[in-house]
Structure 1
Amino acid sequence: MKKQFSVPSMSCQHCVMAITNSLKQLKGVQDVTVDLDKKTVDVDYDENIVTESAMINAIEEVGYDVE
């Protein structure tokens, strides 16, 4: 399954790495692609293992708001 999140507060490679690392720690997340220009995060995941709210929490835990 794929889900795209809008993360408007991302501004640099540090943001990209923090969000990517946080999401990849979740069991069920298969791939994370961040587009810094569009300020989006695309996640490929197994919906039977990880929830959308868990992914949002992972992004917010490292200091970024999800819209």
Structure 2
Amino acid sequence: MEKLTFTIPDLHCEGCAERSTNILERLDGVQEAKVTFEDKSAKVEFDSDKTSFDEMKQALEKANYTAEK
């Protein structure tokens, strides 16, 4: 398992953070995701054989969020 922290700069509220957490946790290979509105960050524990930052970024972009390392 790998751990990755990245920013989601366009979170506007706690609801956005919850939605982003749900999006990330639905990806195959993501064991745990925690998105925090206060610092606009995502902390994700995942299996790099099953998913990647690029796949996480694409999933978030489909919901109109951006992800930046």
CA offset digits 1:12-59 (Å, max 9, x no partner) = 122012111111111100001112111101110001111211011111
CA distance in 1, matches of 2:67, 2:56: 10
Gaps of 5+ in 1: none
Matched, 1:63 2:35: no
Gaps of 5+ in 2: none
Structure 1 segment 16-55 matched on structure 2, within 5 A = 16-55=17-56
Give identity over the alignment, percent.
Answer: 31
Q: How many residues align?
A: 67
CA distance in 1, matches of 2:67, 2:52: 15
